[in-house]
Structure 1
Amino acid sequence: MWHVLAAGALFFPGLYLLCSRCARLVLPGWSEADCSLISSRIVSSVQGFLAAGSGIIIITSCKDVKYDRHWLATSYNWFIIPYMVYDTYAMYLRHWYKCQDKSTSNGKDHFSAAMNSLLRKDFLMLVHHTATLTIVIPMGLFLRGDIGDFFVGCLFVAELSTPFVSLGKVLIQMNLQNSFLHKVNGAFVLLTFFICRILLFPFMYNAYGKQFGIPLYKVPFNIPLHCNIVNASIMAPQIYWFWLICRKAFRLFNSSSSKDR
């Protein structure tokens, strides 16, 4: 699968550079930081659609949730490795731009300032990327053997919320946070995040239980312990992020209601 790995290594950074160049041409008044920011969000959205599309294809193709195979379950795992590496660097780059003026004015080392900002503000996302690269992807490629493509597809579908999250950030970047489009997009963020990242896990357990005639509440006791541990480890940050999204949505709609009065 080296050709898939190489394709991802060319595709994601290449798309970022293309979007960044187009942004500078179309939006000449924007700073380099703004162009970089919107470019990274476009790349994240494209990856989200590709992952979710791959997941839907896998899920609909695997009738046997344990033993059926689909080539995308392995190929997209390879393809996503360069994205995770690229996106980690893109996160650092965002903080590098944010700290540029500050570090220049007070003489503080620019790299240290950017790293401190990254670790302080995006620590959980950094842990998520690191765990995905070192634990989740190796398990999907090597440790699960020839079983479980259906569940790999389910995890890919979780990325369906990413384009809406990215669009929301782009609208804020363009000072459209009070627009009707931002509110509609916020509703889609809540809906897709809840369905694809929270309800996803009961869905996977229910699919397994249906195939083997096990009630949903008994499924956790009929699968290996490490499967429950991995699922709980993946689900925990999703619940935390969903709580943050709900809190932000509440503030947004609450402030809008106050203005209407």
Structure 2
Amino acid sequence: MQAFHTQLAVGTYALVAWFSLYLLIAEALRMWTRTSSLSPAHRAHIAESFVSGVQGVACSVVGVMTVIACWHDVMRDKYPLALYYSSIGTAYFIYDLWAMFRSHSARSECDSVGALLLSYVKKDLLMIVHHLTIVCVLFPAVVYHSPMGHFFIGCFFCTELSTPFVNARVILSRLGLKNSTIYMVNGILMMIVFSMCRVAMFPVMYAVYLSQQTRAPSHIHALASIPITCHLSCLLVLAPQIYWLNMMVKGAVAVLKSTPSQLSKDY
């Protein structure tokens, strides 16, 4: 019970911190000369992306540390920092549902709260489901109900390695730098890191697990011993990653085919 209260306290402080960071960045953007003339929707999007990038860096650092600490025994090794960051990550995804809604409302023309909520759900349904799955299923299942070691938690945290690149792309776009070299380089790095950390990470996890299951008569038996909920959790997280990677590749192809004047447009 004491551990639960500690986790709850960490999550509560983290939730306040995420909201505070967002409001601080939003105010700084309003006062900064370069961004003060941007629309409220663009400033909200930049603030949301900045906080998301901070979370991505923090989560991926904890993930790498956890993977290194638990590499030698993926089924039993524990790393306390991974548990604490699970509460911080949960708080972030709760906050981000609000931040996404704020960005959506800033650019929406709906004249009622009901219509605004409906349009938000329709436009960002995949992201909303992704966030709710992580908050309500993935974190509780992995942290509190799974007998597995923290190596797998670290791997899930490492999927956030691509987040800073994704958000840098948004920020550069809003600042009018879509024609810049740094935008192109960031886009290439974004696709490479995203494909490695959000798609290739899953077969790597299974491969490392199978390499340590020397007592199983075959890999098939070892895979069969994994609870079905683990396979389903991986599938729920992997499916949207494949979709988003496909969107990134299509976007990159569109950029290569576009003229400079087309790139400067704000979509």
Shared fold (TM-score, shorter chain, > 0.5): yes
> In the TM superposition, what whole-angstrom CA distance separates every residue of 1:34-70 from its partner, at most 9, and x where no partner exists?
3222111100000000110000000000121010000
Which residue is equivalent to 2:185?
Answer: 184
1:139 matched to 2:137:
no
Shift in Å at residue 73 of structure 1? 1.9
* Distance across 2 between alignment mates of 1:196 and 1:184: 18
Query: Paired residue for 2:25, among 14, 19, 31?
Result: 19
* Distance across 2 between alignment mates of 1:139 and 1:176: 41
Which residue is equivalent to 1:163?
Answer: 164
Task: Tell me if the contact between 2:41 and 2:103 (Cα under 8 Å) persists in the aligned partners.
Answer: yes
Paired amino acid for 1:23: L
Which residue is equivalent to 2:76?
Answer: 67
Shift in Å at residue 29 of structure 1? 2.0
* Distance across 1 between alignment mates of 2:205 and 2:128: 26
Gaps of 5+ in 1: none
Task: Tell me if the contact between 1:68 and 1:148 (Cα under 8 Å) persists in the aligned partners.
Answer: yes
* Distance across 2 between alignment mates of 1:216 and 1:239: 25
Task: Tell me if the contact between 1:205 and 1:219 (Cα under 8 Å) persists in the aligned partners.
Answer: no
Shift in Å at residue 25 of structure 1? 1.4
> In the TM superposition, what whole-angstrom CA distance separates every residue of 1:11-34 from its partner, at most 9, and x where no partner exists?
111111111111111133233333
Task: Tell me if the contact between 1:44 and 1:166 (Cα under 8 Å) persists in the aligned partners.
Answer: yes
Paired amino acid for 1:229: L
Query: Paired residue for 2:57, among 26, 49, 57?
Result: 49
- 1:1-261 pair list within 5 angstroms: 1-26=7-32, 27-62=35-70, 63-99=72-108, 102-103=109-110, 108-109=111-112, 111-145=113-147, 147-213=148-214, 219-255=222-258
Secondary structure, aligned partner of 1:64: coil
* Distance across 2 between alignment mates of 1:232 and 1:77: 20
Shift in Å at residue 119 of structure 1? 1.5
> In the TM superposition, what whole-angstrom CA distance separates every residue of 1:95-125 from its partner, at most 9, and x where no partner exists?
11112xx34xxxx32x233223212221100
Paired amino acid for 2:85: Y
Paired amino acid for 2:20: G
Paired amino acid for 1:208: Y
Which residue is equivalent to 2:3?
Answer: none
Task: Tell me if the contact between 2:54 and 2:164 (Cα under 8 Å) persists in the aligned partners.
Answer: yes
Shift in Å at residue 221 of structure 1? 3.4
Number of equivalent positions? 251
Structural RMSD (CA): 2.1
Shift in Å at residue 222 of structure 1? 4.2
Secondary structure, aligned partner of 1:178: coil
User: In terms of mean alpha carbon deviation, does 62-71 or 132-141 score higher?
Assistant: 132-141
Over 3 Å counting, the alpha-carbon distance change for 1:249 and 1:173 in structure 2 is same
Secondary structure, aligned partner of 1:65: coil
Over 3 Å counting, the alpha-carbon distance change for 1:249 and 1:217 in structure 2 is farther
* Distance across 1 between alignment mates of 2:242 and 2:221: 22
Gaps of 5+ in 2: 1-6, 263-267
Task: Tell me if the contact between 2:213 and 2:222 (Cα under 8 Å) persists in the aligned partners.
Answer: no
TM-score (norm 2): 0.87
Shift in Å at residue 82 of structure 1? 1.5
Task: Tell me if the contact between 1:95 and 1:115 (Cα under 8 Å) persists in the aligned partners.
Answer: no
* Distance across 1 between alignment mates of 2:196 and 2:253: 19
Shift in Å at residue 128 of structure 1? 0.5
Task: Tell me if the contact between 1:220 and 1:228 (Cα under 8 Å) persists in the aligned partners.
Answer: no
* Distance across 2 between alignment mates of 1:236 and 1:2: 30
Shift in Å at residue 148 of structure 1? 2.2
* Distance across 1 between alignment mates of 2:219 and 2:190: 27
Paired amino acid for 1:73: A
